[in-house]
């Protein structure tokens, strides 16, 4: 566990590609999908905050804090992060999407170490895999979460664009397996 970090787990989406199901609660290997994210977060952070917009009571079984973003029609992950930000009591935050059940501590720890080692001039660390930023796993200085307010005020809701506006370190990864999103029913039935 790294006591300098808290984890925000994003589980507040519509689940459109899953027929409207609450993705974090869809069974995977005998447990709700969020179970894997929570297990990983417990290995590498001090506290867990779940961003969820429905089934709040069910999510409360998994974390110390469950926060709704209180926007109609599911406002997206930036609004979820913003809603959770004031619950973070540590200097550093991991942001983790609940639909990446193959993430491991071996992927998280290099992000944490890079952020801690770089000092205050660095805001965040993220992986790039196959040319794309993997925005479902981010290590960030908690103070940098406040910059979301300005992004949202300007109508910008993309995590990628927000991260690119920060002092960002990008680490390359060739692990396509770890960054496979579970977004469709087929993801759950064909997963190894």
- pLDDT 10s digits, 32-65: 989 999 999 999 999 999 999 889 999 999 998 9
Selected residue with higher pLDDT from 20 and 178: 178
* Average pLDDT of the segment spanning 135-161: 91
Residue from 13, 11, 79, 75 nearest 48 by CA:
11
CATH number of the domain where residue 118 is located = 3.90.550.10
Boundaries of domain holding 32:
5-190
Query: Could you give the percent of the chain with pLDDT greater than 70?
Result: 86
| pLDDT tens-digit map of 59-105 | 999 998 999 886 766 668 899 999 999 999 999 999 999 988 889 99
> Concatenated DSSP letters for 101-115?
TT--HHHHHHHHHHH
Rounded Cα distance, 38 and 99, in Å: 12
pLDDT in tens, 165-192: 999 999 999 887 777 775 655 554 554 4
Q: How confident is the prediction for the chain on average, in pLDDT? A: 86
- Kindly tell me the number of DSSP H helices and DSSP E strands found in the chain: 7, 9
pTM: 0.89
Quote the number of domains for the chain: 1
């Amino acid at each position: 566990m790294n006591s300098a970090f808290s984890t925000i787990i994003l589980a507040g989406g519509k689940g459109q590609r899953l027929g409207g199901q609450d993705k974090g609660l869809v069974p995977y290997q005998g447990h709700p999908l969020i179970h894997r994210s929570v297990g990983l977060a417990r290995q590498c952070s001090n506290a867990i905050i779940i961003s969820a917009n429905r089934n709040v009571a069910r999510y409360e079984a998994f974390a110390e804090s469950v926060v709704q973003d209180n926007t109609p029609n599911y406002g997206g992950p930036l609004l979820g992060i913003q809603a959770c930000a004031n619950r973070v009591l540590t200097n550093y935050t991991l942001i983790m999407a609940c639909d990446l059940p193959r993430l491991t501590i071996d992927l998280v720890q290099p992000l944490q170490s890079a952020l801690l080692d770089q000092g205050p001039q660095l805001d965040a660390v993220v992986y790039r895999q196959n040319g794309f930023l993997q925005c479902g796993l981010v290590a960030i200085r908690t103070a940098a979460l406040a910059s979301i307010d300005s992004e949202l005020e300007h109508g910008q809701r993309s995590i990628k664009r927000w991260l690119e506006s920060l002092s960002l370190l990008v680490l390359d990864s060739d692990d396509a397996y770890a960054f496979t999103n579970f977004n469709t029913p087929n993801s759950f039935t064909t997963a190894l």
